[in-house]
Structure 1
Amino acid sequence: MSDQQYAIPAGPVIFEEEIKKSRFITRLMHTPSIDTAKAFVAQIKTEFSDARHNCWAFVAGAPSNSMQYGFSDDGEPSGTAGKPMLNQLAGSGVGEITAITTRYSGGIKLGTGGLVKAYGGGVKQALLELQTVQKVPLTCIQLRVPFDQVNLLEYVTKEQGGIISDRVYSDVVCCKLEVPTQLAQLSTDRLIELSKGKIQTIDD
C-alpha cells in the first residue's frame, strides 16, 4: 500500500456524447477496492444490458499501484476500449476510480482509431468534470495504555492527525489508533518516549 496521499473521486460523474450515431455514456465512480470496482461494473452492465457494449477500466488503489488496475473491451476489437480508458485513468493521478462506458451503436463503424478516440476521449472529458478529495492512507497501531497515560495518548494522537478507533478496558486500556502511515513510526516512538515506556505496542 502506498503511504503517500492521493486524489480520489468526491462523487460520481456522467459524460455523454454522440459519435457517428453511436451514443457513448461514460460514468466515473469512487471504488476503493477491486471488489467494489467489479460490483459497480456488474451493476451498470445489468442496468444497461440492452447496450451493445459496456467497456470498463479501473484503478482500484493508489494511482501508482498497477497491481490494482483492470480493464475490458467487452466485445469491442481488442485494445480499442478498455486500454485507452485505463490509460486516461492511470495518467490522471486519481486513485480508487472506475470508468465504464456504455455504447449504443448507431450502425456506422468507427474503425479501430475511432473507437480508441471515442472511449479514451469519453473518459478524458469525464475526468475534466470530476471533483476530487485527498486520501491520506492510515496505519493501525495497537497499544497498551495505563489509565494515567490516556490523556497523553489523546494529545499525541490528535497532534499527529490520527484517531482512536477502539478502546478495551481491563487493567489497562488497549487501544487501536489510526494515524497517517507516514507518521506511524514517529507517533509510536513519541508515545513511548513521552510516557517513559509506560505505553507499549501490542503485536498482532
Structure 2
Amino acid sequence: MTFKILKSPHTHEEVIKKSLFMGVCFHCDKPTEFMSQLDQFADPAATHNCWAYKIGNEYRFNDDGEPSGTAGKPILAALDGSGFDHIGALVIRHYGGIKLGTGGLARAYGGTIARLLQAAPFTTHLPMTTLKLQADFQHSQMIFQLVAQLNGQIDDQTFSTRGATFVLRIPQQQVSAFTADIDNLTKGSGTLENI
C-alpha cells in the first residue's frame, strides 16, 4: 500500500478563541521512537499536550486531561484522513480563558493537525518486493529496461556459466505484471523467486 511519509518534523500554530494550539508532526517507525520524540516536543508548561500516532495498523492517542474523545481521537482522525503513515502528532494547547465546548475542541485539535499536514513536506512510500531472477545472458538488457519501466531497482547481479542472476526490487503492485513480462521475454526459461 502506498502512503505518504513526512520528510522532517513540521509545525503549525493557530489561535482559536484566545487559546494557542501548536501542532507538531514527525516521522516515527516504532511506538518507543514516538514516545522519545513526544518527550522532546512536549511543553510541560502547556495546559494540555494531546497526541496520537499511526504506524501501520498500530495507533494510540491521548487527550491529556481534555474531555474524553475531544483531542486525541480527532488528531488520529486527521492522521487517518491525510494519507500519511509512520507518523506522530502532538498538539500543545495554552488555554486562553474561553471554553470551546466538546465540538469546538474536536475541531480545534483535529483541524490544527489537518491544516499542518496539508502544508507538510512528504515523500511517497512505495512497498517493494525483493525477487531473485535467473535468466540467460541474452535477456540482461531487456531485464534492466523492464525493471526501470516499473520503477524497480536491481540490487545485485552475478554471472556464471548458467546465465545471469539478479536480485531486484519491484513495487508490490507490479509483481504480477513483471512476472508475466519475464515469462514472455524468456519464453518460460527465466525463474523468479521471492526472497
CA distance in 2, matches of 1:165, 1:106: 56
Normalised by the length of structure 2, the TM-score is 0.78
Show the counterpart of 2:105. Answer: 115
Aligned-pair CA distance for 1:78: 1.8
Paired position in structure 2 for 1:183: 174
Question: Could you say what secondary structure the match of 1:202 adopts?
Answer: strand
**Which letter maps to 2:166?**
C
Give the stretch that moved more between structures: 169-178 or 153-162: 169-178
User: 1:44-59 maps to which residues of 2 (within 5 A)?
Assistant: 44-50=38-44, 51-59=46-54
Q: Note the C-alpha offset of 1:110.
A: 4.4
Tell me, yes or no, if the aligned pair for 1:57 and 1:71 is still in contact at 8 Å: yes
Counterpart contact for 1:149–1:199, Cα < 8 Å: no
Matches of 2:190 and 2:62 in 1, distance apart? 50
Tell me which of 23, 28, 52 is aligned to 1:26.
Answer: 23
Partner Cα distance (1:53, 1:168) in 2: 58
* Per-residue deviation, 1:57: 2.0
RMSD (Å), alpha carbons: 3.0
Local SS of the residue matching 1:100: strand
Partner of 2:156: 166
CA distance in 2, matches of 1:46, 1:8: 20
Residues 137 and 180, structure 1, Cα contact 8 Å, conserved in 2: yes
* 1:144 and 2:134 are equivalent in the alignment: yes
Q: What is the letter of the counterpart of residue 37 of structure 2? A: Q
Q: Which residue of 1 aligns with 2:92?
A: 102
* Larger strand proportion of the pair: 2
1:165-198 Cα offsets, whole Å, 9 max, x none, are: 2335565544222112221111122113212333
Q: Which amino acid aligns with 2:134?
A: R
**Unmatched 5+ residue regions in structure 1?**
62-66
Q: Relative to structure 2, which stretch is displaced further, 165-174 or 96-105?
A: 165-174
Whole-angstrom CA distance in 2 between matches of 1:195 and 1:83? 53
Identical counterparts, % of pairs: 37
How many aligned residue pairs are there?
Answer: 193
- 1:108-165 per-residue CA deviation (whole Å, 9 max, x = no partner) reads 6544334323212211321332344444332222222444433232122112221112
1:73 is aligned to 2:63: yes
Give the letter aligned to residue 140 of structure 1. Answer: T
Q: Which runs of 5+ in 2 are unaligned?
A: none
Structure 2 counterpart of 1:42, from 36, 45, 59 = 36
CA distance in 2, matches of 1:178, 1:166: 10
Residue identity matched to 2:149: E
Q: SS at the partner of 1:164?
A: strand
The amino acid that maps onto 2:54 is V
Question: CA distance change for structure 1 residues 46 and 133 in 2, over 3 Å: closer, same or farther?
Answer: closer
CA distance in 1, matches of 2:103, 2:14: 17
